[in-house]
Amino acid sequence: MAYGQPPQYPPAPPPPPPPGPKPRPAPVTAAVWTQFLTALVLVLTAVSMFAVQGAVQEEMEEQLLDDPELSGITSDDIGMLVTVSFAVVAAVYILFAVFYVVLGLLNNRGNRPARILSWVLSGIALACCGLGGLIGQLGSTTMSMGDTEFEDETTQVAQDVTPAWVSTLEWITLLFLIVGSLLIIIMLALPASNDYFRKEQPQQFPGQPPYGQQPPYGQQPPYGQQPPPPGQQPPDEPPPGPGRPPQPPQQ
């Protein structure tokens, strides 16, 4: 008795190709380049402040120590003032520049935590360094040394002995910290940026249930068999396989 031909099943469709990288929208590119440019300006300003710190301190000592109205000022006081005004500010600028470069590289790749940290860093740079530095540049400064207070004198001397190109870099830095921080915050909050930083869903193959869901009990296809397309009933008999010969034809 001869057996009939086993039923033929169409081959399983090939899996879809993996999705390529998301195209980077223009707002994200603008925010990343703003971070890089801000970091560059911060580094240039910090290096210039370190370079002129010693010369500024010498000039201030020559002018302030010989002034009889400022007899309460000592060399240590002037050194402290220059250190705070130049070295500490320059170190903060370099630290911010490192953060801007790292976050810019991560934002360029669509990293979601980097986007959140960029908002935090830009907010701090805007409020503390940008607006705070602008108020310090435009307002008067009172310096206390012991029981004596010196208002404007020491600040004016420090501005006079600071090279003009260093002062120009400081104003450019404040501009980037204010305008650049606002630009970064806005660009990373636009809808196009939201789509770029949105987490992708896991890839789903044809016939596979949605991620996190399992087919109801009793409807799992046999091992090695593809489930039928949606809307098509599964066959009554499983396909022949090892240990299961095909059904003989009816006489």
Looking at the chain, the number of H-run helices and the number of E-run strands are: 9, 2
Per-residue pLDDT reduced to its tens digit, 87-128: 888 999 999 999 999 999 999 998 999 999 999 999 999 888
Residues in the chain: 251
Higher pLDDT: 225 or 78? It is 78
Residues 6+ positions from 98 with CB-CB distance below 8 Å: 39
What are the start-end ranges of the H helices in the chain?
26-64, 75-82, 89-108, 112-124, 132-138, 153-161, 164-175, 181-187, 191-197
Indicate whether 241 pLDDT > 80: no
Q: Give, in degrees to the nearest 5, the angle at Cα 129 between 128 and 131.
A: 75
> What are the structure tokens assigned to 250, written together?
């009816």
For residues 207 and 43, what is the distance between their CA atoms, to the nearest angstrom?
55
Q: Give, in degrees to the nearest 5, the angle at Cα 48 between 136 and 100.
A: 75
Query: How many Cα atoms within 13 Å fall on the side-chain side of residue 127?
Result: 7
What value does the mean pLDDT take over residues 179-201? 88
Per-residue pLDDT reduced to its tens digit, 48-81: 988 888 888 888 777 777 665 566 677 787 788 7
- Stretch among 18-32, 87-101, 164-178 having the lowest mean pLDDT: 18-32
Q: Distance between the two ends of the chain, CA-based, in angstroms?
A: 10
Residues 6+ positions from 117 with CB-CB distance below 8 Å: 99, 103
Going by C-alpha positions, the residue among 139, 137, 140 that lies closest to residue 129 is 137
Residues 6+ positions from 130 with CB-CB distance below 8 Å: 174, 177, 178, 181
What interhelical angle do 75-82 and 153-161 show, nearest 10?
A: 60
For residues 86 and 73, what is the distance between their CA atoms, to the nearest angstrom?
19
